[in-house]
Structure 1
Amino acid sequence: MTTLDLDALVAIDVHTHAEVSDDGHPSLSPELEAGKAAYFKADTPQPTVDELAAYYRERRIAAVVFTVDAQAATGHPPIANDEVAEACARHADVLIPFASLDPHRGRAAVDEARRLVEDHGVRGFKFHPSLQAFWPSDRMAYPLYEAIEELGVPALFHSGQTGIGSGLPGGGGIRLKYSNPMELDDVAVDFPDLTIICAHPSVPWQDEALAVAAHKPNVYIDLSGWSPKYFPPQLVRQANSLLRHKVLFGSDYPVITPDRWLRDFEQLDLKDEVRPLILKENAIRALGLA
């Protein structure tokens, strides 16, 4: 099996989505999928993981791939983690498999986390507190974090506002409050050896995210979900200075393409030595790829 050639890569995208399974099963319910498409003005078919791999290989970019298991809150079955991992294994020169487990599954999620890492080569886990309807600091999730910490892989948490449910009546039942990045402060304290990635510019809680990342050595921020031209100024300022080793390139593909993200990233007022840190070097350390 081919593995990543880190020297040949121009970047590592730490945030992409498996949106449709091999048999056509979508990652979200029809209502949420339609709302998301309207929010992001997406009018193209969702790529399969194989198509995602071809897209990233052409650009010499590696990509972390995951879906979200939010069945307890939404009633919609997720794309199987095994399928995502197996697809990534077919394209191990460009794809890095993450899994997603609903914390509401309790002990079953803990056992599944161990199986996915040990038997399927999963390299991290994605949580979406708003979609999964849980507080990250809820002790319900702690046995799962403990297992992930012991397995030595990162946990990536959605933070801030979400396009999922936006514009739907009642926001599609999705509550933004769960995704305040200050919730990750307790997790970082209680699991100091767990690498935590706080995903997205965390509107409306950008300052909270910056404070946690600056204070806790095990917390990183990914820059996915927004064009860089819309980044809050304090995020750009700290990415260029205090947090230069804590910030990661992420696109949120397919809703935002790396082509657009990288084009707008070029226009940011960043020091030349900071750009390669954000695009690749910080991710190598955060993902344990060295």
Structure 2
Amino acid sequence: MNDPFAAAERFIRAEARLLEQRAFATCFHHEPADGVVEALRGYQNRDGGFGHGLEPDKLCPASLPIDVEIALQTLAMVGTLDAPMVGRACDFLAATAARADAGGAVPLAFPVIEGYPRAEHFADWTYRPDVFPTAGLAGLLYQLGFAHPWRDEATRYCWWALENQPLSDDVHALMEILVFLEHVPDRVRADKHAGAVIEHLTARPMFHLDPQPSVYGLSPLHVAPVADSRWRSMFSQARLDAHLDHLLEIQQPDGGWPITWAPPSAAAALRWRGIVTLKAILTLRSYRRL
């Protein structure tokens, strides 16, 4: 494409949901982040959690920890914090952890999702409290600078899991741990673990050190999505350049980026394409490819 950014903007305006449109306006057109917060507010339930398919692989209105994580990721993306909104979400996570009785850990989802459209990978394994999503949630709260008793409880759980359990073979769980290690204040302790986590992650079959078109998996650009990422130095510039070249190559004729998994509906697929398109242009801008 002659102008990947202009094409991506057309796609987001035409196909993405309001949340990504408002985030795009904040990230690229200097619009206030208030619009993003207001768009997120529609996904927050009375219990403080987020639902309503904020994470589009399960179209369930009930509050789920994975949807809270998407909300925190969005706030971090646009560099803003609505303290009452995040505080209510943390209260939901604290209540969830108390019910789970797993040392502060929370699961991705609950059995309530079974009554709604969902992708095949959202099954009963997502009901187990684990570092996925507990570590990512705690890391995002540190990134946002938001203190809460549940964050402290989750932090203790994450350190315990890192120091007493074998590392997961799930690439998503390992990414969650890296989010935690990137933002937790105890840098000496974090850096002690980071190398082993990244080494374990990059050895997984679902982690693609080299681009693999149309195959689902994670890549160095997931670990270092922006140029100033703490973990960028773990990959050679040549390897990053190969993935950045590939990212530009796979932009679709409609201006959006593709996905490599099957969401539960055509609408969910478009929602995901809006999400990955916004992330793609943020990464390309950060690495000076736009």
Shorter-normalised TM-score: what interval? 0.3 to 0.5
Larger Cα-atom Rg: 2
User: TM-score, structure 2 length as denominator?
Assistant: 0.34
The structure with the greater share of residues assigned to strand is 1
User: TM-score, structure 1 length as denominator?
Assistant: 0.34
